[in-house]
Structure 1
Amino acid sequence: MKCNNPDYTTGILLAKDLNSNIYILDLYEFQLESKNLINEIISTAVCDKSYVQY
């Protein structure tokens, strides 16, 4: 049975200051089939200038 309604995935960009306070800088939520999910995660991380290892 094929699911026509994939689960949501959420990405959060965090920052930590010198006092160990954590800040949410950005939040991104998307709903994709698994074949497109990895590409979207990597593309989002590249836009955030984050190091991604997959």
Structure 2
Amino acid sequence: MNNTQCPIARKNGLVVQEVPDEVLVYDLETNKAHCLNQSAAMIWRSCDGKNSVSEIAALV
């Protein structure tokens, strides 16, 4: 399986803070903050380079 089939969430240039039921992501390059809800946070955590897109989709 190649890397495009097992995505990895970008970590460089980000400040990531996990809180109950959410993940807060601050992009240091664009100065934008994002609040990922529970579903988006689950997808973010799953983009670790080990799970395929189809495996991640099955979680949702």
TM-score range (shorter-chain normalised) is 0.3 to 0.5
Higher relative contact order (CA 8 A, sep 6+): 2
Write 1 or 2 for the structure with the bigger share of strand.
1
Structure showing greater Rg:
1
